[in-house]
Structure 1
Amino acid sequence: MRPSVLVIFIAFLLFTPSQAHLKSTESSFISILISSQGLDFIKNLLITKAISSLTPLQLPQIKKSVKIPFLGRVDIAFSNITIYHIDVSSSNIAPGDTGVAIIASGTTCNLSMNWHYSYNTWFVPVEISDSGTAQVQVEGMEVGLTLGLENREGSMKLSAKDCGCYVEDISIKLDGGASWLYQGVVDAFEEQIGSAVESTITKKLKEGIIKLDSFLQALPKEIPVDDIASLNVTFVNDPLLSNSSIGFDINGLFTRANATTLPKYYQNSRHPVSCTDPSKMLGISLDEAVLNSASALYFNAEFMQWIVDKVPDQSLLNTAGWRFIVPQLYKKYPNDDMNMNISLSTPPVIKISPNNVDAIVYADLIIDVLESQEVIPVACISLVIHASGSVKIAGNNLAGSVKLNDFTMSLKWSKIGNLRMFLIQPVIWTLIETVFLPYVNVHLGKGFPLPIIHGFTLQNAEIICSYSKITVCSNVAYEDPQNLNQLPFHSYRNTVML
């Protein structure tokens, strides 16, 4: 038979010339790193799914005519040859410059089949035949494939650069009829059965790779966040392969839902993904430009405007509650209800630093008086709010919350004369703490989706804030939901977790 597949694949990785990493003109703001532990997880998952798709596996019928002394020509046929069990004792995954090699060695598989023979002799005028069943044990089988990964118009293209199967040893046990008489004859079919196993498994693996590539090609290039925004998850550049990890770059900016053009407001400041815990399977690094793109998008969509007509202390929305703070307001509009019209003047600016996320919000607060069903703007106060935030993982979402650090205020215009800002400041502080921040935190608590394929969930994630980026380091669990029928293998309903 052929030389060891393991040797072939090692030689392929060592001696195939490396290709230069292709550059893209599009920027990347989210980087993903799959560590050696993550690659082992994916390898084990793929092997489990491959086994489920390979069993049962039907092999083509084998026929052969042999000459036996005193009997003459004997026609022998094996039919209904079925691989019904595969066991992988060890496996390895090895990324290289040109692809990822997955090798399963020490593999055994069990086959069942029917056998039949017939012959005629000169001394017996009728055909003599016999049939029965057989059990086949294949041992020391090696299966290997090298997968190529490349960026193809923003999607990840998967291809089989090499794929093979090598059978080391086969034993056949016949049952039925006078099978013991013909065991030696059947043993001559070992090589044909081994070749059939090798070719059929190789063909099935190549078909699986084509289906897996189709699944990858069908992955969406944007993840909906809500009716306004989507996260652009278009791949940028080819994957970065080392001997122990695979890295991916994606655009990562927020864009208007179903937009035909993508914003290009930011320069690329990509950083390598670095996790303090080497046992984590996955690292996702987000540049602060991702958060600022969300800020700009919602601002431009006029989503950052609020009319406040209900507050915990409702007296603050009546001029009577302001009679000692702004006497002229109460004098001109006695006992009239009020609204607070809050609108941001520019998108919030988000800065990420070690162990902290800071935000600066520029807003205008217009005081409206409601008189005889008429809305009368009476004053506008400019606010500069300094807030700090915290981030957390909620499912597969990156979520967070903010708290008020400080704010400054100035009178922008007034129809009721000059205002004593030091008297108004406690009221504005209360409005920010009891109305503005709770509203914002409700939305931030939901978060936005990280680029995780459906069916995978983050486990035991930790978050690291550094200069201008947030890194999520996590393990991963997989549970195939019932509606994930598009995966290229049969249903797999167990949970795999490291």
Structure 2
Amino acid sequence: MSKRGISAGLSLRLTGDLSRVTPPLARINTSNSPDPIRDKADAGEKIKVSVMMMVMMMMMKMVMMKMVMMYVLGMKPEQQQNVLFQEACKQSECRGRKNYLLLLHCFRMWRHEPNMSSYRNALPVCFPEVMSALSLLLVLLAVASTTLSVNPGVTVRLTDKGLQYGKQLGIAAMQEKLKSIQIPDFSGSESVSPIGKVKYSLTNIQLVNVGLPRSAVALVPGTGVRLTIGDAFMNLHGNWRVKYLRVIKDSGSFDVNVNGLTISTSIVVKSDATGRPVVSSTNCVASVASAKVKFHGGASWLYNLFSKFINKALRNALQKQICPLVDKTVTGLNPKLQTLNVLAKVDKYAEIEYSMVSSPVISQSTLDLNLKGQFYNIGKHQEPPFTPAAFSLPSQNNNMVYMALSAFTANSAGFVYNKAGVLSLYITDDMVRHCSLFYGLKVHKIPLVPKGSPFRLNTKTFGVFIPQIAKQYPGLMMKLLLRAENSPTITFQPKNTTAVATATVTAYAIQPNGTLSPLFILNLESSVSADVYVRGLNIAGRLTLNQLKLSVGTSYVGQFQVGVLDSVLRMVLKVVVIPIVNVQLDKGYPLPAIGKMNLVNPQLQIMKDYMLIGTDVNFTGEVLTPSTSTSCVLPTTAAFTLSASSLKTLMHSCSRRCFTCGATSSCSRWKACVF
């Protein structure tokens, strides 16, 4: 083979710059108005397309490299010593031009000609290019895998019972839509024996009544819902006018009974760019079995003879209008579906995202919406260092809707509030003194502060446990700072919700000039149980202290036994910290909801790794919220002070009433409210 032939045969180059790859979606602007959720979804789609295109480019390059390798290895030695490739390798052009063909040839020459030092020198220059390409390919494949498969934090399941309820609402809406049918005036001529040719016109046709007595819905796996309507009927009324034998005219009214109306359509359920569900109607078919016309006035007995011609015309006119109205009815649901709270504000620190992370999962018996279910700091969406684990819902169908909230959702809330810096609390003497009246304090089972006597947060009290505090800081008030060290970890096990938190407790002596002198820092590990319940459209809860473990982090007053402070800190947590947290938890966190949806008789179960809410729903617009008492509301700010009189009044009210519902001891949640 000549040198020209070799050069021509090897003129194929695997060159390219991945940065040039521009996905088509990156050049599409779907809307002129800004929408953070839509923009975020669009960005996700762009990333997916970009990643997939880059992966395809890399795979094509790898295939071409393999083809070139097979070609090069099949060359004869004299061909391999082509001057062009020798010079290219000597000049180390592999790196600058990213010419993988030259690299492969250099490698071939270096392997078979070990004495050719120039090829040895060229290979290390070229080799990093291949390693870089392979590394990039692996990274892109990993990113693509992560991007295209996302586990939900929340799953909402619609059962057949819920589907039937939705059918009732949909049929009612469709019946109203069909009432808007407008049949245009039409005219024609027919030969009627024995009078001959008759010209007629039907005008002012109005729909009097419409009935949809029989309907059925069924889920279509992977697609959506199949809706069929049978034995529907309509009653129409209008005016008629005829002319025959050239000069004879007559007019009157008529009634039409339309029977045997059947409608069948498929409703496709998808996710739009904002992560909300969207529906559309396809394959609509409508047919009218009969349309019987009855003429009134004039020589109606005569004109009824050609009513069969009118029947056909009316059937055709109706059939042309029904499916467009069905399509409008289905698409009319989208504005309501757009009310899904894909980004629900919780408070001034956090919001929760309920956008769909994938297309609906539709089986023969259920329709699942997989939602992100993740808390974010308002204005700063930062991903937590953990991801949602896969979970599956049990086969329950007693309720219309099931909502599964994973541990990921709960833990993302802890991550967000910890990032916001609100998981800290200054505890003052006023807070402890009046709360302790209803608790008492025992140390090693010995009543140190009996019930009804106040516990004071000062150096005299703590001097009983740590004498050097009273000696170094006599007669000073104290303040405790409780601060979370890490985000709390929440776990769901069958019938049990547990949260574990690590924190520090820093004790300060308050100097006369207001400065704080640190006394000690304790490391605190606590475990609490949660009583979770549904309140309106919110998920709420209450905490109960389980375990407490203390250790000395730093001491500024010398050594002491931390065990003597166990009862003190336990009392502070029970009567001050946990009630404050419970007030916030009792406000609840929004569940995914659409429009004026209300939950009817919700039942909550704690499963492994998630909590399951089974409920019926209605869309009557009546919001049912339980009455609450505001007589026992503790402050929720991270640092606060109360006057002694107001706090005393507050705690006196708390001693007689339930935090949750304001009821007395007859309240079903009374046991969870008392200290």
Amino acid at match of 1:468: D
- Please state how far the C-alpha of 1:210 moved relative to its aligned partner: 2.8
For the pair 1:147 / 2:267, whether they are aligned, the reply is: yes
Query: Equivalent residue for 2:289?
Result: 168
Query: Equivalent residue for 1:402?
Result: 543
In structure 2, relative to structure 1, the CA distance for the partners of 1:177 and 1:258 (3 Å cut) is: farther
CA distance in 2, matches of 1:436, 1:58: 67
For the pair 1:419 / 2:554, whether they are aligned, the reply is: no
Query: Equivalent residue for 1:241?
Result: 362
SS of corresponding position for 2:333: helix
CA distance in 2, matches of 1:76, 1:166: 25
The count of aligned residue pairs is 453
For the pair 1:281 / 2:389, whether they are aligned, the reply is: no
SS of corresponding position for 2:603: strand
> 1:356-435 residue pairs with structure 2 within 5 A?
356-371=496-511, 372-435=513-576
Amino acid at match of 1:382: N
Picking from 376, 380, 386, the partner of 1:266 is 386
CA distance in 2, matches of 1:33, 1:230: 23
Give the TM-score of the pair, scaled to structure 1. 0.85
For the pair 1:298 / 2:417, whether they are aligned, the reply is: yes
CA contact (8 A) 1:29 1:268 kept: yes
CA distance in 2, matches of 1:70, 1:352: 86
Picking from 310, 314, 335, the partner of 1:193 is 314
CA contact (8 A) 1:118 1:129 kept: yes
Post-superposition Cα deviations, 1:216-242, rounded to whole Å, max 9, x if no partner, equal: 356453222222222211112221211
For the pair 1:351 / 2:470, whether they are aligned, the reply is: no
> 1:114-153 residue pairs with structure 2 within 5 A?
114-119=238-243, 121=245, 124=247, 128-132=249-253, 134-153=254-273
Post-superposition Cα deviations, 1:411-458, rounded to whole Å, max 9, x if no partner, equal: 111222223322221111110000111111111112211212122222
Picking from 242, 246, 253, the partner of 2:374 is 253
In structure 2, relative to structure 1, the CA distance for the partners of 1:337 and 1:179 (3 Å cut) is: farther
CA distance in 2, matches of 1:264, 1:345: 16
Amino acid at match of 1:385: S
- Please state how far the C-alpha of 1:481 moved relative to its aligned partner: 6.6
Picking from 142, 160, 164, the partner of 1:40 is 164
Picking from 343, 356, 374, the partner of 1:222 is 343
CA distance in 1, matches of 2:514, 2:283: 76
Amino acid at match of 2:231: G
CA distance in 2, matches of 1:222, 1:131: 60
Picking from 206, 212, 217, the partner of 1:88 is 212
Post-superposition Cα deviations, 1:60-110, rounded to whole Å, max 9, x if no partner, equal: 222222234565543322223233432222221121233310111122222
Query: Equivalent residue for 1:479?
Result: 620
For the pair 1:99 / 2:261, whether they are aligned, the reply is: no
Query: Equivalent residue for 1:3?
Result: none
- Please state how far the C-alpha of 1:329 moved relative to its aligned partner: 2.1
For the pair 1:61 / 2:181, whether they are aligned, the reply is: no
For CA contacts below 8 A with separation 6 or more, give which structure has more relative contact order: 1
Larger Rg: 2
Query: Equivalent residue for 2:137?
Result: none
Q: Which runs of 4+ in 1 moved over 6 A?
A: none
SS of corresponding position for 1:83: strand
Bigger Cα displacement from structure 2, 417-426 vs 213-222: 213-222
Amino acid at match of 1:139: N
SS of corresponding position for 1:295: helix
Bigger Cα displacement from structure 2, 317-326 vs 241-250: 317-326
Picking from 396, 410, 427, the partner of 1:308 is 427
SS of corresponding position for 2:307: helix
Amino acid at match of 2:227: I
CA contact (8 A) 2:200 2:243 kept: no
CA distance in 1, matches of 2:287, 2:244: 37
Query: Equivalent residue for 1:329?
Result: 469
For the pair 1:232 / 2:232, whether they are aligned, the reply is: no
CA contact (8 A) 1:30 1:285 kept: yes
Amino acid at match of 2:529: S
CA distance in 2, matches of 1:76, 1:48: 36
Structure 1: gaps spanning 5 or more residues: 1-22, 483-498
Query: Equivalent residue for 1:485?
Result: none
CA distance in 2, matches of 1:327, 1:262: 47
- Please state how far the C-alpha of 1:351 moved relative to its aligned partner: 1.0
Q: Whose strand fraction is larger, Structure 1's or Structure 2's?
A: 1
Amino acid at match of 2:425: W
In structure 2, relative to structure 1, the CA distance for the partners of 1:340 and 1:177 (3 Å cut) is: farther
CA distance in 2, matches of 1:238, 1:55: 34
Query: Equivalent residue for 1:448?
Result: 589
For the pair 1:76 / 2:200, whether they are aligned, the reply is: yes
CA distance in 2, matches of 1:453, 1:129: 56
CA distance in 2, matches of 1:136, 1:121: 26
In structure 2, relative to structure 1, the CA distance for the partners of 1:39 and 1:439 (3 Å cut) is: same
Structure 2: gaps spanning 5 or more residues: 1-146, 437-453, 624-675
SS of corresponding position for 2:418: helix
In structure 2, relative to structure 1, the CA distance for the partners of 1:376 and 1:163 (3 Å cut) is: same
Amino acid at match of 1:355: K
In structure 2, relative to structure 1, the CA distance for the partners of 1:477 and 1:215 (3 Å cut) is: closer
Amino acid at match of 1:164: V
Query: Equivalent residue for 1:208?
Result: 329
SS of corresponding position for 1:209: helix
Amino acid at match of 2:392: P
Q: Whose helix fraction is larger, Structure 1's or Structure 2's?
A: 2
SS of corresponding position for 2:360: strand
CA distance in 2, matches of 1:390, 1:275: 25
CA distance in 2, matches of 1:256, 1:296: 9
CA contact (8 A) 1:292 1:349 kept: yes
Bigger Cα displacement from structure 2, 183-192 vs 355-364: 183-192
- Please state how far the C-alpha of 1:214 moved relative to its aligned partner: 4.9
- Please state how far the C-alpha of 1:192 moved relative to its aligned partner: 1.6
| Identity value in percent | 23
SS of corresponding position for 1:401: strand
Bigger Cα displacement from structure 2, 400-409 vs 326-335: 326-335
For the pair 1:462 / 2:586, whether they are aligned, the reply is: no
CA distance in 2, matches of 1:262, 1:110: 60
CA distance in 2, matches of 1:201, 1:481: 33
Amino acid at match of 1:288: A
CA distance in 1, matches of 2:265, 2:455: 72
CA contact (8 A) 1:350 1:360 kept: yes
Query: Equivalent residue for 1:493?
Result: none
CA distance in 2, matches of 1:175, 1:73: 20
